[in-house]
Amino acid sequence: MGCDGGSIPRRDELVKQKQKQAKVDQSILNRVHWFSCALSKKALASPVVACGLGKLYNRDAILEFLLDRTAYGDGDKICQHIKSLKDVVTLQLEPNPSFSETQSNSLTDHDKEPVARYVCPITMKEMNGKYRFVYLDTCGCVMSEQAMKEIPSKTCIKCTKPFESFNVIVLNPKEDELEAMELALLEKQARILAEKKEKKKSKASKKESDGVESSKSSNKRKLDSSEESSAKHKKQHLAASNYPSPPPTQTVSSTHSLTAAVAAKVAEQMAVNASRKTSSAIQSLYNTGKVHKENFMNR
C-alpha cells in the first residue's frame, strides 16, 4: 500500500470492515449454535436435548454417541462431559407458528435469515441466536431470558414445576460465561452425587430404623394391649362405681343390727329356757323334796 497508487484505508473503514466480518461470523455461529446439533451438525429436530453447558443436540445423535463414542469424529471433545442420558435434558420447546419445513432449507442459504423452528412461549421471540434463551434442567422448558426476568417466579412459568436458581441454564452461553458454567456443572455433578449418597444413607438407616420400628411397634402393641386391658379394668371399675354397692359400713351396721336382733332373740330364748330349766330343777328339787318328804313321811 502507499506509493502503489492505491489508498490507505482509514481507521473507521477498518473498524467497519471488522464489524461486518464479526456480523457475518456471528450469523454463521448462530446457524451453527441455534439451528444445528452441536454433535452431528445436522439441523435441530425434536426431540432436542441440552447439556449442562447449554449446547443443543439432537437426541438421536447423543444416543448414537453414547453407544459409540467414536461415531462422530470430534464427539469425545465436544461431549466429553456427557457420560449418559442423565447428563442431558430433553427440552420442551415451543414450536414457531411461522416456521414450515420448506423453510429449513434456508439454513444453507447464507443470504437469507433462517426462520427459527422454536420460539419463547411467553414473548414469542424466535430462538435464532439474537436473544438469550435459558432452559430449566428440572422440567426442560425453554424460554427467553427476558421472560424469565420479567416474570420472577420460583416455579416454571410454562409448567409450574418448582426450581432453584441453579436449575436455570443459559443456552449457547457467551465464551466468557462458559468457565462459570463448567464450574456450575461440576458443582451440579457433586450435588447429585451427594444427594445419591444421602438417599442411600437414609434408605439404609430407614431399613435399620424400620427393623427397630417393627420391634418397637410390637412392643408398643404389647404396651397398647396392656394399656387396653388396664383401661378395660379401669372401665369396669368405673362401671362398677357407676352402680355403687351399698357402703360397707351400712352393710356392717345392718348385719350388726340383724345379728344383734337375732342374738337378743336367742339370748332371750336362752334366758327363758334357763329360767324354765331352773324352775324345773327347782321344781324337781321341790319334787324330790316332796318325794323325800313323802318318803320320810311314809316312813
Of 60 and 145, which has the nearer Cβ to Zn ion?
145
Q: How far is the CB of 137 from Zn ion (least distance, A)?
A: 10
Q: How far is the CB of 194 from Zn ion (least distance, A)?
A: 25
User: Is position 139 an interface residue for Zn ion (rule: CB under 5 A)?
Assistant: yes
User: Is position 158 an interface residue for Zn ion (rule: CB under 5 A)?
Assistant: yes
Please give the grid coordinates belonging to residue 192. 447429585
Contacting residue, 156, 169, 170, 171, with Zn ion by CB under 5 A: 156
Cβ-based neighbour number of residue 242 at 10 Å: 7
- How far is it, in rounded angstroms, from Cα 153 to Cα 151? 6
| Number of residues counted as binding Zn ion (CB under 5 A) | 6
Going by DSSP bridges, is the β-strand pair 56-58/168-170 parallel, antiparallel, or unpaired?
Answer: unpaired
Would you call 135 helix, strand, or coil by DSSP?
Answer: strand
Q: What is the dihedral of CA 276, 277, 278, 284, to 10 degrees?
A: 110
- How far is it, in rounded angstroms, from Cα 258 to Cα 235? 35
Please give the grid coordinates belonging to residue 79. 461431549
Of 114 and 140, which has the nearer Cβ to Zn ion?
140
Q: How far is the CB of 223 from Zn ion (least distance, A)?
A: 49
Look up residue 248 and give its amino acid.
P
Contact track, Zn ion, 50-69, x by CB under 5 A? --------------------
Of 131 and 163, which has the nearer Cβ to Zn ion?
163
Of 61 and 147, which has the nearer Cβ to Zn ion?
147
Q: How far is the CB of 158 from Zn ion (least distance, A)?
A: 5
**DSSP 3-state percent helix, strand, coil across the chain (nearest 5):** 60, 10, 30
ω into residue 47 within 30 of 0, thus cis? yes
User: Is position 141 an interface residue for Zn ion (rule: CB under 5 A)?
Assistant: yes
Look up residue 61 and give its amino acid.
A
Q: How far is the CB of 162 from Zn ion (least distance, A)?
A: 10
- Which listed range, 74-82, 100-108, 132-140, 226-234, lies at the site for Zn ion (CB under 5 A)? 132-140
- How far is it, in rounded angstroms, from Cα 28 to Cα 6? 32
- Which listed range, 17-25, 47-55, 158-166, 183-191, lies at the site for Zn ion (CB under 5 A)? 158-166
- Which listed range, 52-60, 160-168, 175-183, 275-283, lies at the site for Zn ion (CB under 5 A)? 160-168
CA 27 to chain centre: 46
Q: Which candidate, 91, 104, 98, 100, places its Cα nearest to that of 134?
A: 91
Would you call 32 helix, strand, or coil by DSSP?
Answer: helix
Contacting residue, 159, 178, 192, 258, with Zn ion by CB under 5 A: 159
Q: How far is the CB of 46 from Zn ion (least distance, A)?
A: 16
Of 122 and 184, which has the nearer Cβ to Zn ion?
122
Q: How far is the CB of 135 from Zn ion (least distance, A)?
A: 9
Look up residue 299 and give its amino acid.
R
Q: How far is the CB of 15 from Zn ion (least distance, A)?
A: 43
Which residues of this protein are in contact with Zn ion, per CB under 5 A? Answer: 139, 141, 156, 158-159, 161
